[in-house]
Amino acid sequence: MATWANLNLQNSSSPLMEQLIFFHDHTLLILTMITITVAYIMSSLFFNKYNNRMLLEGQTIEVIWTILPAITLIFIALPSLRLLYLLDDSIDPTITIKTIGHQWYWSYEYTDFVKPYEFDSYMIPYNELDNNGFRLLDVDNRTVLPMNLQIRVLITAADVLHSWTVPALGVKVDATPGRLNQTNFFINRPGLYFGQCSEICGANHSFMPIVIESVKTESFISWIKNMMNS
């Protein structure tokens, strides 16, 4: 979960998010190098404008600053294309759940089992929150998922546009009425992962959080059995 002093991305909890963080750092390094180079050239021109005629007129420098940006773009584009492929890669899932966005809450359906299990997930109001709860982030019914298994989420909306987003898992998918979108992810450690709707969907857009609880497979099987029998 993000904190006030956190200037970087959230710690990754899936292989996909690890790749996103790597691409972010890779691109940021290139941008830093470009900024330093441009700042050096500008300062050189400013303080030594009579001794730098090569930078002001000359075929050699024109060729250099045409080729270098092209090479730089290649170093950015290749990892970007690889990451886009990984984001859209479809892997056979072990479990599939369906997420439906409403104004202003999420509902979930576990349909892979003999008896389907459905529930709504509302934000817990501040006056009902426990002392150790997370303000504006905790929900009454958390989405429990097993770790170390490939998970597919089918996402849609019942009324207006929403967006199902969990930053620590590298997941952000639009929930569109009349359309079924999907995403795959692999949670590689247990814990609580918080997200929020990332599409402005009305007056209470800020009050429909997402909470994923990652547990061991044995604990997940016990949980789903208890929920279906209750």
Kindly state whether residue 31 falls inside one of the protein's structural domains: yes
As for how many domains the chain has, the answer is: 2
Kindly report the number of other CB atoms within 10 A of residue 90's CB atom: 9
Statement to judge: residues 63 and 112 lie in one domain: no
Kindly state whether residue 6 falls inside one of the protein's structural domains: no
Domain boundary among 39, 58, 88: 88
Statement to judge: residues 82 and 128 lie in one domain: no
Residue 99 pLDDT: 94
* Residue-wise burial string across 121-146, b where 16 or more C-beta atoms lie within 10 A, e elsewhere: bbbbeeeeeeeeeeeebbbeebbbbb
pTM, 2 dp: 0.79
User: Which CATH number covers residue 194?
Assistant: 2.60.40.420
Per the CB < 8 A criterion, the answer to whether 151 and 97 are in contact is yes
pLDDT profile of the chain (230 residues), mean per 10: 70 87 91 90 71 64 83 90 81 89 93 86 87 85 91 92 92 92 90 91 91 92 84
Q: What angle do CA 19, 164, 112 make, to 5 degrees?
A: 95
